[in-house]
Amino acid sequence: MTYQNYSLAQLQQIDAAHHLHPFTDSKELREAGSRVIAHAQGPYIYDTEGFELLDGMAGLWCVNVGYGRDELAEVAAQQMKELPYYNSFFKCSTPTPILLAKKLAELAPRHINQVFYGSSGSEANDTALRLVRHYWALEGKPEKNRIISRTMAYHGSTVAGTSLGGMAGMHSQLGGAVPNIVHVMMPYAYELKLPGESDHEFGLRAAKAVEDAILEAGADKVAAFIGEPIMGAGGVKIPPESYWPEVQRICRKHDVLLMLDEVITGYGRTGEWFAATTFGIEPDTITTAKALTSGYQPLSALLVGDRIANTLVEKGGEFYHGYTYSGHPVACAVALKNLEIIEREGLVERVKSDTGPYFAKALRERIAPHPLVGEVRSVGLMGAIEIVKEKATRERFSPEGSAAVTVRDHAIAAGLMMRATGDTMILSPPLIWTREIIDMACDRILKALDLAEADLRKA
Ligand SMILES: *Cc1c(COP(=O)(O)O)cnc(C)c1O
C-alpha cells in the first residue's frame, strides 16, 4: 500500500473530510482524529507510527486465527486468478461455496445440514428472519410470524438487524422497525437478579419472560425466538446455566422456532465450534459470520436446520431472496482455509482445555480484586469486566459509560486494545493467545485500572 507517502495528520484530515464511519460521532471524530491501524502480525496491531497494541478484540470479534496468515492471502489470490466471481442464483454454483457448505454441515450440530450465504452477519439475520416467516407460510400458518428477541440484543445494523436487536439508541434512529418483533428481558444476572434470588432461579425467570411473550401473542402467532448465546456487543452477558435449556423447552412446548445468533460465538470462541454445544441446545437456525473467515474476507453463513430446510425442499416454490455475493468464491475459499487452520492448530480444543480456563482464572485472581471491578466473567476467550465506583453496592460512576471509556483509553495507551460498552469492559482476543499473552494483557489491564482509578476518584 502507498499510505507511507502520507503523514498520519494527512490521513486523519482526509479521513475526516471524506469518510463517514460506522457507530461514530462524526463531529467528535473530526475533533479527535481517527486512530489509523496500518498493519498487523500475529496478536499485534500497529498504527501508522509503529505503536504496537495487543489486539484484545480480534479486530471486531473476528480475527480468530490472528493476523499475517500468508496462507489465507495466497488462497484468495489463487481463487481470484481462477474464478474471481460467479453467482449462485438461478441454479448456478461454483466449487468453493459447495465445498464450504459440506464442511459447515460437518462442523455444525447433527441436525443442521444446509447453508445460505451472505457477506455479513446483518445480511444473514435478514435471511434468517425472512426464512422463518417463509417457513411458517409454507406450513400453511402465515400468521405465525412474530419474532421474540431481547433488550440489548445485537443482531446487526441493517433495518431487519436493527429491528431484531434490542438497542434503544439504534431503534430511536430507525423511523419504523420491521413489524411484529417484540423484546423481552435479557438474562443479565449482575444487574437484574433480585435480592435473594439464585443465578439458577434468575435464569428460569428470564426464560419465563419468553414464555409470557408467547402466551401474550398466542403461540399460533409466534414464529421464533432469536438470541445470541452470549450477548456480545451488549456487554458479554453470559446467561446462567438454567437459561438456554429452559428457553428451548418453552420453544418446543409452543412449537416456536429457535434462532441462535452465533456471529461472535461461532467457530471456537467459547471452546466449542458453536455455543449451541456449549449450552446444550439444538437451534433451528444458527447465524454465523465474523470468524468464519477470521475477518480476512466478508462472509456469512446462515446454518439452517433440517426442519426448515426439508420444508423448503418438500413444498417447493422459489424463495425470493439472495445477495449478489451469496457464496462468493473468494470469500468461501478463504473460509475453507481458515477452518483448516483452526482445525490443524487445534484452536477450539486449546480454548476449551487450556487458554479459556487460564483466562478465566487470570480474570478472577488478578482483575476481580481491583477496587474498580464489580464482577468479571468469561466463557472461552470472551470476557467482561464490570467497572464500578463501589464494589459492595455496585454503584456506578456517573455519567453512565464514562468510567469504562477512561479505563479503555488507559488500556490503549498501555498497549492493549479493548472495548467499552456502557460500564462494561470487553475482551474477545484472537484464539491464538497463549498463557504468556494472557498474563501480559492482565498486566496492562491492571495498569489501566490503576490509572483510571486515580483519574476517576479525583474527578
Ligand atoms: C457483529 C454482529 C452482527 C452483525 O454482523 P455484521 O457483519 O456487522 O453485519 C450480528 N449479530 C451479532 C451477534 C454480532 O456480533
Q: Which atom of ligand 1 is nearest to the CA of 153?
A: 13
108 in a structural domain: yes
Q: If residue 224 lies in a helix (H) or strand (E), which one and from where to where?
A: strand 222-227
Q: How far is the CA of 108 from the centre of ligand 1 (A)?
A: 19
Asked if residue 250 and residue 377 are part of one domain, the reply reads no
Asked if residue 149 and residue 267 are part of one domain, the reply reads yes
Asked if residue 277 and residue 330 are part of one domain, the reply reads yes
Asked if residue 114 and residue 49 are part of one domain, the reply reads no
Asked if residue 162 and residue 44 are part of one domain, the reply reads no
16 in a structural domain: no
20 in a structural domain: no
Average pLDDT over residues 246-264: 98
391 in a structural domain: yes
Mutation test of ligand 1: which of 57, 120, 302 has the most ligand atoms closer than 8 Å to its C-beta? Answer: 120
Q: How far is the CA of 327 from the centre of ligand 1 (A)?
A: 18
Beta bridge partners of 382: 379
pLDDT of residue 38: 94
171 in a structural domain: yes
Find the range with the poorest average confidence among 3-12, 148-157, 245-254, 361-370.
3-12
pLDDT of residue 458: 87
Is 121's C-beta closer than 6 angstroms to any atom of ligand 1?
yes
Single residue among 310, 344, 378 that ends a domain in this structure? 344
Asked if residue 360 and residue 241 are part of one domain, the reply reads no
Single residue among 288, 319, 344 that ends a domain in this structure? 344
Q: How far is the CA of 155 from the centre of ligand 1 (A)?
A: 6
Is 120's C-beta closer than 6 angstroms to any atom of ligand 1?
yes
Is 261's C-beta closer than 6 angstroms to any atom of ligand 1?
yes
Asked if residue 303 and residue 321 are part of one domain, the reply reads yes
Is 167's C-beta closer than 6 angstroms to any atom of ligand 1?
no
Asked if residue 394 and residue 419 are part of one domain, the reply reads yes
Q: How far is the CA of 262 from the centre of ligand 1 (A)?
A: 9
CATH of the domain at 369: 3.90.1150.10
Is-contact 262 301, C-beta < 8 A?
no
409 is in which domain, residue-wise? 35-65+346-458
Q: How far is the CA of 233 from the centre of ligand 1 (A)?
A: 9
Average pLDDT over residues 69-73: 98
Round to whole Å and give the CA distance between 71 and 395.
Answer: 49
Q: For ligand 1, atom 5, name the residue with the nearest CA.
A: 121
117 in a structural domain: yes
291 in a structural domain: yes
Asked if residue 396 and residue 247 are part of one domain, the reply reads no
| DSSP alpha helix (H) spans, 62-198 | 70-82, 95-107, 121-138, 159-164, 168-172, 189-192
Asked if residue 225 and residue 144 are part of one domain, the reply reads yes
Report whether pLDDT(4) > 90. Answer: no
Average pLDDT over residues 278-283: 97
Round to whole Å and give the CA distance between 406 and 455.
Answer: 8
The string of pLDDT tens digits covering residues 194-243 is: 999 999 999 999 999 999 999 999 999 999 999 999 999 999 999 999 99
Q: Which atom of ligand 1 is nearest to the CA of 290?
A: 7
Is 270's C-beta closer than 6 angstroms to any atom of ligand 1?
no
Asked if residue 78 and residue 221 are part of one domain, the reply reads yes
pLDDT of residue 240: 98
Burial environment of residue 92 by CB neighbours within 10 A (0 to 12, 13 to 18, 19 or more): exposed
To the nearest whole number, what is the mean pLDDT of the chain?
Answer: 97
Q: What are φ and ψ of residue 266, in 5° steps?
A: -70, 155
24 in a structural domain: no
With bands split at pLDDT 50, 70 and 90, how would you rate the model's confidence at 268? very high
Round to whole Å and give the CA distance between 379 and 278.
Answer: 9
Radius of gyration of the chain (CA): 22
Single residue among 317, 344, 371 that ends a domain in this structure? 344
Find the range with the poorest average confidence among 21-30, 197-206, 229-238, 294-303.
21-30
> Which triple of cell numbers denotes residue 313?
425442499
> Which triple of cell numbers denotes residue 125?
439475520
Total number of domains constituting the chain: 2
How many CA atoms lie less than 13 Å away from 64 in the CB half-sphere? 35
CATH of the domain at 92: 3.40.640.10
Report whether pLDDT(1) > 90. Answer: no
Is 242's C-beta closer than 6 angstroms to any atom of ligand 1?
no
pTM of the model: 0.97
The string of pLDDT tens digits covering residues 383-418 is: 999 999 999 999 999 999 999 999 999 999 999 999
Asked if residue 239 and residue 138 are part of one domain, the reply reads yes
pLDDT of residue 2: 65
pLDDT of residue 3: 78
pLDDT of residue 334: 98
DSSP one-letter code for 208: H
The string of pLDDT tens digits covering residues 100-111 is: 999 999 999 999
Q: Which atom of ligand 1 is nearest to the CA of 231?
A: 13
